[in-house]
């Protein structure tokens, strides 16, 4: 990561010319930024119109007609007056964006499963086979492609057999997170696992949404036999095995055809405290024979925490030492990265370094974004380390835990361990992260934030009959059009952000984003992280002209804006039709915002 907070690898798909790095701005402290915040922001918000989440998935040509109260967005700024420029090079395709980088993650922790997902078949809360209907409906809107389950650290204490069979006969166990839940005042249903929600209920959720399941196997405390028996239970054809008959007796006669299997979780820590070499031996043993039943299996190895280069190096070195052909058995290498340390170098203490989810100033705003931006250099660094042993890059990166992690106390539901309330800041953070993945389609094949509901960087919050979509959930809706599109090279030139970081001048990238093409439909997503300044931006498409389109914006006059059960629409995407008056498009990108341009090309 560069000193200015931008990742070293940013140039791989988004280039910054000298105009960005050398741009001179007024260096002001926190109070100066905050003084300008409320005046310049309300004008854009006041002119915006509310749009339902379903509208975000509409095609550009149909988007405007789907909004009854929409207004045309037409900028009066001339190209010569623009301070930023975006060039989209349609003939430079970086690769196809895997839909699975927009994946999700569920774990038996706090209120994620019980109350978040599972409400029970007999609940008065609208449900589909016991699963919260609101959750299913929202996940279908954003075209959720894959969900990882059951953990997380919980996975390496979990016996899959406990969660199948007649519900009233399933054993009750102590949850992995019992010690933490006990101190947080969590209810007994969070601390002691009833196993009422298990493999079959998870498959029911995936089928209702229309997404792929991704199961994480227990390597720390179960033998390899338990792993391939789980595969057998899920995938063996109807009537073919005893486990297939057991599955049919209480759940499904037809196999689940699970493709994605995680072999342990965080095996360097809660998943067994292995060394990289020890884990490589375990991975070889667990995957040396697993029945396929005509379904090709994709094994995901437990990768590094953040910048643990030695873990990546040690694992791959041990794998190829035995047999380089074993690389063919590894689909993905799971990188975990949380942005938690907002102390600006004062401490590395896990608790003391964290900031607050709701109470923060502009310096904390930039700090968490700087931390999040490090992910790009981590992707490139681990990719390079993997290439030392896997020159053909058969193994792809899987970033299946990411997001900000704040100190406890902001959750809407008391007792929900690790629940935090996402704000506009987390929406900007998440959009920046998704843009990073979009810019590296050759490297990242699957990803998921932690976690889907009632946890850290959640898309949804739920309790009893209450439910709301967070700003992060709205970002996933705004970015869903990228799924399966061809990422194209995008050159962004913008003034860098100048601010004081503990009294010292510091800079941060002034505009970031990504673009993808599907036929004649171009999707451009942008983040303006500046807390108070808009960007007058010219958009140039090389190789085509813009015929029509729409702009979708997520922003608010308050940096701390968030949705709650009582105020579900405090921050929602605003949609406008675009009026294109010339060969290029010039528009204003508001401060502290996430923007999606859905453009139809001629």
Helix (H, G, I), strand (E, B) or coil at 455: coil
Predicted pLDDT of residue 10: 29
Q: pLDDT-derived band of residue 79, with 50, 70 and 90 as boundaries?
A: low
Question: What span, in angstroms and rounded, lies between the C-alpha atoms of 401 and 265?
Answer: 10
Q: DSSP of 75-124, one letter per residue?
A: ----GGG-SEEEEEEEEEEEEEPPGGGG-EE--SSTTTTBTTTB--TT-S
- What one-character DSSP code corresponds to residue 406? P
Mean pLDDT of 215-233: 98
Q: What is the pLDDT of residue 583?
A: 73
For residue range 137-176, list pLDDT tens digits in order: 999 999 999 999 999 999 999 999 999 999 999 999 999 9
Cis preceding-peptide flag for 488 (omega within 30 of 0):
no
Q: What is the pLDDT of residue 599?
A: 96
Q: Count other Cβ atoms within 10 Å, centred on residue 326.
A: 17
Q: Which residues are catalytic?
A: 266, 401
Residues in the chain: 602
What pLDDT was estimated at residue 437?
Answer: 98
Tokens read off for 96: 């196809």
Q: What is the spatial distance between Cα 343 and Cα 416, in angstroms, rounded to a whole number? A: 25
Q: Is the pLDDT of residue 184 over 80?
A: no
Please report which confidence band the pLDDT of residue 15 belongs to, taking 50, 70 and 90 as the band edges. very low
| The pLDDT value given to residue 180 | 76
Write down all domains in the chain, each with its CATH number in brackets. 8-96+486-601 (2.60.40.1180), 99-346+395-482 (3.20.20.80)
Share of the chain above pLDDT 90, in %: 82
Task: Specify the pLDDT at position 186.
Answer: 83
Per residue in 418-452, pLDDT (tens digit) is 999 999 999 999 999 999 999 999 999 999 999 99
- DSSP state letter for 303: E
Q: Helix crossing, 309-322 with 276-287: angle to 10°?
A: 50
Give the model confidence (pLDDT) of 92-141 as tens digits: 999 999 999 999 999 999 999 999 999 999 999 999 999 999 999 999 99
Q: According to the model, what pLDDT value does residue 72 have?
A: 39
| Cα 336 from Cα 403, distance rounded (Å) | 9
Give the pLDDT band of residue 42 (cuts 50, 70, 90): very low
Note the pLDDT of residue 584.
84
116 close to 454: Cβ distance less than 8 angstroms:
yes
- Identify whether the C-beta of residue 422 lies closer than 8 Å to the C-beta of residue 471: yes
Q: Give the pLDDT band of residue 65 (cuts 50, 70, 90).
A: very low
Single pTM value for the model: 0.88
DSSP 473-529: HHHHHHHGGGTTPEEEEEEEE-PPEEEEETTEEEEE-S-EEEEEEETTEEEEEEEE-
pLDDT > 70 fraction of the chain, expressed in percent and rounded: 86
CA distances from residue 581 to 62, 547, 548, 586 in whole angstroms, order as listed: 19, 10, 10, 9
Give, in degrees to the nearest 5, the angle at Cα 138 between 132 and 140: 105
Res 430: pLDDT: 98
What does the DSSP 8-state code read for residue 402? E
Structure tokens at 167: 């519900």
Judging by beta carbons within 10 Å of its beta carbon (0-12, 13-18, 19+), is residue 556 exposed, middle or buried? buried
Tell me the C-alpha distance between 586 and 401, whole Å.
37
Strand order in the sheet with 444-447: 104-105, 146-149, 212-217, 260-263, 298-305, 332-339, 396-404, 444-447
Res. 346: pLDDT tops 70: yes
Reported as a pLDDT band with limits 50, 70 and 90, residue 1 is: very low
Looking at residue 407, its pLDDT comes to 96
pLDDT score for 453 = 98
Q: How far is C-alpha 102 from the geometric centre of its chain's CA atoms?
A: 6
Distance CA 405, CA 372 (A): 11
- Kindly report the CA angle at 546 between 545 and 551, in degrees rounded to 5? 155
pLDDT (tens digit, 9 = 90+) per residue, 389-406?
999 999 999 999 999 999
Q: To which residue do tokens 């914006």 refer?
A: 553
pLDDT at 600: 95
Best CA proximity match to 411, nearest among 486, 362, 366, 466: 466
Kindly tell me if the per-residue pLDDT of 31 is higher than 50: no
Check if the beta carbon of residue 198 is closer than 8 Å to that of residue 160: yes
Which pLDDT belongs to residue 450? 97
């Amino acid at each position: 990561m560069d000193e200015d907070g931008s990742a070293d690898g940013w140039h791989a798909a988004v280039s910054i010319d000298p105009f960005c790095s050398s741009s001179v701005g007024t260096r002001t402290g926190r109070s100066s930024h905050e003084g300008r915040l409320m005046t310049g922001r309300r004008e854009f918000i006041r002119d915006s119109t509310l749009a339902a989440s379903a509208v975000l998935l509409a095609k550009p040509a149909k988007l405007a007609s789907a909004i009854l109260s929409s207004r045309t967005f037409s900028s009066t700024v001339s190209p010569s007056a623009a301070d930023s420029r975006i060039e989209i090079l349609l003939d430079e395709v970086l690769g196809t964006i895997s839909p699975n980088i927009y994946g999700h993650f569920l774990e038996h922790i706090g209120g994620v499963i019980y109350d978040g997902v599972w409400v029970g078949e007999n609940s008065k809360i609208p449900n589909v086979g016991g699963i919260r209907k609101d959750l299913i409906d929202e996940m279908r809107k954003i075209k959720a492609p894959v969900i990882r389950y059951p953990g997380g650290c919980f996975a390496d204490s979990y016996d899959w057999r406990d969660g199948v069979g007649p519900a009233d006969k399933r054993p009750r166990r102590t949850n992995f997170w019992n010690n933490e839940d006990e101190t947080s005042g969590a209810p007994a249903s969070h601390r002691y696992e009833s196993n009422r929600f298990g493999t079959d209920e998870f498959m029911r959720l995936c089928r209702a949404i229309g997404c792929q399941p991704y199961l994480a196997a227990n390597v720390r405390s179960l033998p390899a036999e338990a792993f391939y028996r789980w595969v057998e239970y899920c995938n063996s054809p109807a009537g073919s095995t005893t486990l297939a008959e057991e599955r049919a007796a209480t759940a499904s006669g037809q196999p689940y055809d699970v493709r994605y299997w995680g072999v342990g979780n965080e095996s360097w820590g809660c998943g067994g405290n292995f060394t990289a070499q020890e884990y490589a031996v375990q991975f070889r043993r667990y995957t040396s024979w697993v029945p396929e039943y005509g379904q090709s299996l994709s094994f995901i190895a437990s990768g590094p925490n953040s910048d643990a280069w030695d873990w990546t190096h040690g694992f791959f070195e041990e794998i190829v030492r035995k047999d380089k052909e074993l690389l063919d058995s590894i689909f993905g290498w799971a990188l975990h990265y949380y942005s938690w340390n907002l102390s600006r170098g004062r401490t590395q203490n896990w608790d003391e370094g964290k900031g607050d989810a709701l109470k923060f100033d502009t310096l904390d705003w930039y700090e968490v974004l700087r931390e999040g931006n490090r992910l790009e250099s981590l992707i490139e660094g681990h990719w390079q380390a993997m290439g030392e042993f896997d020159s053909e890059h058969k193994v792809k990166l899987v970033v299946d835990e990411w997001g900000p992690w704040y100190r406890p106390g902001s959750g809407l539901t008391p007792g929900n361990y690790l629940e935090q309330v996402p704000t506009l800041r987390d929406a900007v953070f998440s959009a920046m992260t998704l843009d990073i993945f979009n810019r590296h389609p050759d490297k990242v094949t699957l990803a998921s934030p932690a976690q889907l509901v009632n946890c850290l960087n959640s898309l949804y919050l739920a309790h009893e009959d209450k439910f709301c979509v967070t700003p992060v959930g709205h970002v996933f809706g705004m970015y869903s059009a990228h799924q399966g599109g061809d990422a194209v090279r995008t050159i962004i030139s913008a003034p860098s952000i100048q601010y004081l970081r503990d009294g010292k001048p510091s800079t941060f990238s002034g505009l970031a984003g990504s673009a993808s093409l599907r036929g004649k439909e171009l999707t451009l997503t942008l983040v303006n992280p500046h807390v108070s300044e808009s960007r007058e931006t010219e958009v140039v498409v090389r190789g085509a002209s813009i015929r029509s389109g729409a702009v979708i914006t997520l922003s608010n006059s308050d940096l701390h804006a968030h949705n709650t059960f009582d105020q579900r629409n405090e921050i929602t995407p605003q949609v406008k039709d675009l009026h294109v008056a010339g060969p290029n498009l010039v528009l204003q990108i508001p401060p502290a915002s996430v923007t999606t341009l859905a453009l139809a090309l001629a």
